Amino acid sequence: MSMIKSDPPHPDPAVAAEWIEFYYQQGWSDGLPLVPPTEDSVQAMLAAAELTGDEVLGTIDERNAIIPAEKVAINAVMAGCLPEYFPVVLAAVQGLCHPEFHYHNPATSTGGSGLAIIVNGPIGPALGINATNNVFGPGVRANATIGRALRLVMMNVLNTRPGLLDRATLGTPAKYTFCFAENEVDHPWVPLHVERGFRPEESTVTLYASNTLMGVYNQLASTPEPLLREFADAVCNLATPNVYGFNETLIVLAGEHAEVLRRSGWSKRQVQEFIVQHARRTVADFKRAARLPGDIQPEDETTWRYVLRRPEDLLIICAGSQGGSWSACLPGWGNKWTRSITLPIRTGGIP
């Protein structure tokens, strides 16, 4: 038997295991072990955001629900967050309550979206939120626990539980956790939060309801056009729910693809416009796949439907490692009334 000599913080691991099992039995877990909260750990979480436990962070009217700060702190502790992560969790929770995000739609739908927390600004590197290698994968506490805390809040505070108010047909592994930072160092343009009107030195959370994550591979493109045609093809995939032209799509540029665009001198706006113009299908395509009703008429072969309406409906960010010919396309959850929300991360209580 292998054994590592250590100086554990608790003399008896069996006691911790009993607490973990107790929390399982209450039905409060996402399926993984929870960290049992203590008075000190909950207070430390609240103190990191200068909050008291009885403050209300927001409401979800369709759920007849309020979100007290103490409950968010408890769930953040259970998720494994450090106190310094709490302002990020807090901004994400406030995003849930934003009227334009319209929580009840993406949280309840059979479409089963994962809510991506995209972190911008200096807080990302300061907290060690991964923005580079294996950015969507495991191994980094900040990414794993911040995203998990949001989902636990959804389950425990907003009753978004599978089979109850989460009616997803399939769900997604991104429902366990989905948090990452934008790589603002290796970037051809300004990062997302600056594009949306924040200063570079401000830190923000963008909350985005994503239906799935599609890898985009291209090892040969050395100029923008062929690369962006491939992105456009991913954006207008017939299998995604948002192909009628009323939604957002997120593209995560990584490695060599970001470098191709940097070298080209194309602006982000040019890239957005190119993809919007090329992410289209004919009405006949939609009808052949029964995504539109009716028989195919001759004019359907030359009548185009665009997936996105405006360049700003295409969110483009940089993340992932420098090496490799991979990027990602994350179609939006698929309803015109749900928009991604960017909010500042604050440590000084509720604005």
Partner 1 sequence: MSRRVFDPTVSPAAPAAFSYTPRPKSLRGLRVGLVENTKFNSEVILRKIAERLATRYQITMTHLDHKKSSGHSVTPEAIALFQQQADFVLAGVGD
145 part of the interface to partner 1, by CB under 8 A: no
**Strand partners of residue 249:** 314, 331
Nearer to partner 1, 41 or 120 (CB): 41
CB of 294 to partner 1, least distance (A): 13
Buried b (16+ CB within 10 A) or exposed e, 276-304: bebbbbbbbbbbeeebbeeeeeeebeeee
Instruction: From 176, 59, 155, 52, select the one nearest 108 (Cα to Cα).
Output: 155
134 part of the interface to partner 1, by CB under 8 A: no
Q: Which of residues 255-284 bind partner 1 (CB under 8 A)?
A: none
44 part of the interface to partner 1, by CB under 8 A: no
177 part of the interface to partner 1, by CB under 8 A: no
Token pair recorded at residue 14 = 């069996």
CB 46 within 8 A of CB 76: no
Work out the angle at residue 267's Cα, subtended by the Cα atoms of residues 274 and 128, and round it to the nearest 5 degrees: 110
* Residue 42 identity: V
108 part of the interface to partner 1, by CB under 8 A: yes
Site string for partner 1, 48-77 (x = CB under 8 A): -------------xxxxxxxx--x--xx-x
Nearer to partner 1, 53 or 311 (CB): 53
Q: Of 52, 100, 337, 349, which lies in the binding site for partner 1, with binding defined by CB under 8 A?
A: 337
CB 330 within 8 A of CB 214: yes
CB of 316 to partner 1, least distance (A): 26
Token pair recorded at residue 322 = 């420098």
211 part of the interface to partner 1, by CB under 8 A: no
CB 208 within 8 A of CB 316: no
Binding site for partner 1 (CB under 8 A): 22, 26, 28, 36-39, 42, 61-68, 71, 74-75, 77-78, 102, 104-105, 108-110, 152, 156-159, 335-337
